[in-house]
Each structure stands twice: as structure tokens, then as C-alpha cells.
Amino acid sequence: MKYVRVFSILLIVNIIPAYASYESPTNEEKINFDQLLAQFQTVDAPKKDVSDVIGTFQKPMINTFSCNLHDTNNQIITIINTKLAKFDENTTNQDLVTGGSYTWHCSETMQNGKISLDCNNELRINPEIISNDTQVDPQLHNIENLVILYHELLHGQLMIDAIKSSSVWQQETCNLQPGENIDYSFADPDHKIINYLQTQFASALVDKAGGKMITKEISSDETNNGTFTIKVFSFNDYPTFENSSKITFRTNNISENSFFQVKNDVFLSGHLKDDTKLGIAWFYLFNNEKTQNMTNETMPIWIKQVAGQWSSGNVQDEYFYSAIDYLMKHNIISSNDEKIDISTVPHWLQKSAHLWFTGEIDDNTFVNSIQYMISSGIIH
């Protein structure tokens, strides 16, 4: 019998924060960044060239172009620097865990038709994400760190591309009036380009590591007032991973998310935070030798009975919690906490317990549901 272990969920959502005042990075952040950057530059996976923005950490990048006769101004000089800054928790919003941020911060000087843009940009990387204190598999964790860095560097590079060669941006800037702000939209704050590039990069890295990444987009017309339950994939389509996989997933713009497996199909349910935008879920499948060797000899029948009783409301929550407690003490479920304290159990767990009791889902799947909730902090 094999267990499918489910690890914690982090929502990697990166934002361009409102200007935060500059603070020097900690030593740990500097070391993290240097190591990650060195690895990023040598990693063998197709990616967009981001060497311009990487160069701005070392020396200013200076770009000059002339406007044409019909423009308000006649010349634009841009000077771009980037420095690593201390990660600021205030840039994380709501319940999201932010991987990092890249902030464009240009001050404009206009004189005799000449515009100077002095850009002092900041990169922030969340040290808690980089240092692996999550339960994510180290291999996947490393991939995600590279993806976070790539993501943030793209916010820099895409804007640099515009400064260097977008006729739209150049013309807008040539016609800038005093008091007007330059157009930062080319840094892709909505991730229209970045999501795609990042997915491509991550997918190549996961493939190289012997895994599989599955991306699912959810649009508002697939939801009921934002709420949805959608089949994401079937293990039948990925025979290499069937029954032996570890699944990890990440989401963007989805709250209250959970996933569950019925037979070979994996479903995701949740709620679109902003239903004018797509929700994205990334699933990572990895085969894992270690977890394949786990057995469920220790799964006693009374646990299933308690779960069945609990799912139909015949026993108090406490009985069910003691069953979970047993699973943790016997390492069938792993948790950092010694004792669980459950205040709210999502309704789908009761459904899951019922399906398990009636034999529609197997032990693995049920154990996963609980593991998922513990790992993701829904119960702790």
C-alpha cells in the first residue's frame, strides 16, 4: 500500500508593493540571494534573457534615446539601478505568502526638453520562503526558489525591454507632461506575460527533476459566484505517476482552496478572490521512493468506524479528533504540533470521511485529506 503524501500549500503571489522605504537586507537575505542567483544563472532550462536586470545590481544601466520632432520632449535618459532590500512583511497582503517583489522606483527630472529618469529599484525575497521551513520536498523547493527569482527579475527585465525598444513606451515618455508619471505597466504587474514565462520555466525544471507540472486556469464562468469545484486532471493521463505520487500544489487568486481525489481523478475546489481575473493552480507530481515504502498496517479499523460515525453526525467531534491524534502519534500523518486543536473542520472533510467509510475512496486518499489540512494550517 502506498501513501500519497500531500504537502503544505503556499500561495506564491508576488506583487509590486507601494513604495516602502529602503532597508538593507539581512546577511541571511544576501547569502540567499547570491546563492540563488548563481544557481539561476547556470540552470539548464529555457528562459527569457534577464541579464540586463541582473547587470543593474552591479552597475547602473544607462539608456539614451532621442524623441522625434513631433514629440513634446526631445531626449530621454534612463539610469537603472537595482539593489537587494530587506523583505518587508507589509508588502504581503491578506493571507497570502509572498515570494518576493520587484519595485520600480524612478524619479523624473525634466529640463529643456530633456527627461532624466533615475530609477532606484528594489528586489525583495521572502527569507521564510527561501529557507525551507515548509514540508515541501527539497527538490521542488529549490525549483520554486528559482521560479520566484525568475518571476521578480522579469518584473525588472520586461520594463527594461520597453525602455530599450518599445516604441509605444518611448513615445509616451517623449510626450510626458510635467507632473505626469511614466508608464510602469510594461513591468507586467498583472502577470499577463510573467505567468506564462514562469510556468514554462517551472515546467521544464520539474520535468528535468523527473516530475510533472500540471497547470489549471479557472475563469469566472466556470464558477458559481466565484466558488468552484473542478476536475484538474486524472492520473489515467499520467500513468508514470499513478498511485505513487506526491502531489503539491500552488494557487494564485484562489482562496479556501482544497483538493481531493476520487478514484483516479483529482479535483480542486475553492473561490476566486478576484473574479475578474483567472485563478491559476499549479500541481506538481513527483514519484517518491520514501513514501512508496510506507505501509498502512497500522491503520486500525476503529478509525474508519469513528470517521464513518462522525461523517453522519452520530459521534461528537472529539471522537474524530482523537482518531486524528492516533494517526499523528503513529506517524501516519505528520504534524509539527504535538496536539491538534481543531476549531473549524471544513465540511468537505466530513464528505471525505463518508466516502472513505463507504469504500469510495481508499485509505491513502483519506489520509491525504487530513494531511493536507494539517500541512496547510487549516487545522493545527
Nearer to Zn ion, 142 or 252 (CB): 252
Read off the C-alpha cell for 159. 520594463
Select the span of 6-14, 86-94, 130-138, 257-265 touching Zn ion (CB under 5 A): 6-14
> Residue 85 carries which side chain, given as an amino acid letter?
A
The nearest distance, CB 101 to Zn ion, in angstroms, is: 7
CB of 13 to Zn ion, least distance (A): 8
Q: Are 370 and 303 in contact (CB under 8 A)?
A: no
Q: How many CB atoms lie within 10 A of CB 267?
A: 16
Closer of 137 and 152 to Zn ion (Cβ): 152
State the nearest-atom distance from the C-beta of 12 to Zn ion, in Å.
9
**Residues in 12-31 at the binding interface with Zn ion, rule: CB under 5 A:** 14
Q: Return the number of the residue (89 or 341) whose C-beta is nearest Zn ion.
A: 89
Rounded CA gap, 76 and 70, in Å? 15
User: CB-wise, 253 or 375, nearer to Zn ion?
Assistant: 253
State which residue, 19 or 302, has the beta carbon closest to Zn ion.
19
Which of 37/209 has CB closer to Zn ion?
37
Residues 209-238 as x/- pattern, contact with Zn ion by CB under 5 A: ------------------------------
At 46, which amino acid appears? Answer: P
By beta-carbon proximity to Zn ion, the closer residue of 198 and 261 is 198
The window from 11-19, 265-273, 298-306, 334-342 that contacts Zn ion (CB under 5 A) reads 11-19
Binding segment (CB under 5 A) for Zn ion, from list 10-18, 43-51, 57-65, 370-378: 10-18
CB proximity list for 165: less than 8 A, separation 6 or greater: none
Nearer Cβ to Zn ion (93/322): 93
d(CA 65, CA 237) in angstroms, rounded, equals: 52
Which single residue brings its beta carbon nearest to Zn ion? 14
Task: Enumerate the β-bridge partners of residue 268.
Answer: 230, 259
Q: Smallest distance from the beta carbon of 154 to Zn ion, in angstroms?
A: 8
In whole angstroms, the minimum distance from the beta carbon of 247 to Zn ion comes to 25
Smaller CB separation from Zn ion, 147 or 332:
147
- Helices marked H in 56-137: 127-130
Q: Please report how close the Cβ of residue 115 comes to Zn ion at its closest, in angstroms.
A: 27
- Minimum distance, C-beta of residue 174 to Zn ion, in the bound complex (Å): 28
Q: Is 252 in the site for Zn ion (CB under 5 A)?
A: no
Q: Nearest distance from residue 191's CB to Zn ion, in Å? A: 6
Region near Zn ion per CB under 5 A, out of 7-15, 41-49, 133-141, 216-224:
7-15
CB of 194 to Zn ion, least distance (A): 6
Tell me which amino acid residue 324 is. Answer: I
CB 248 within 8 A of CB 213: no
Q: What b-and-e string marks burial along 27-63, b requiring 16 or more CB atoms within 10 Å of the CB?
A: eebeebbeebbeebeebebebbebebbbebbeeebee
Q: Which residues of 137-170 are buried (b: 16+ CB within 10 A; e: fewer)?
A: bebbbbbbbbbbbbbbbbbbbbbbbbbeebeebb
How many amino acids of this chain bind Zn ion (CB under 5 A)?
Answer: 1
Could you tell me where the DSSP H helices lie in the chain? 27-42, 51-55, 127-130, 138-165, 167-174, 194-208, 289-292, 301-311, 317-329, 347-357, 363-375
Chain positions contacting Zn ion, by CB under 5 A: 14
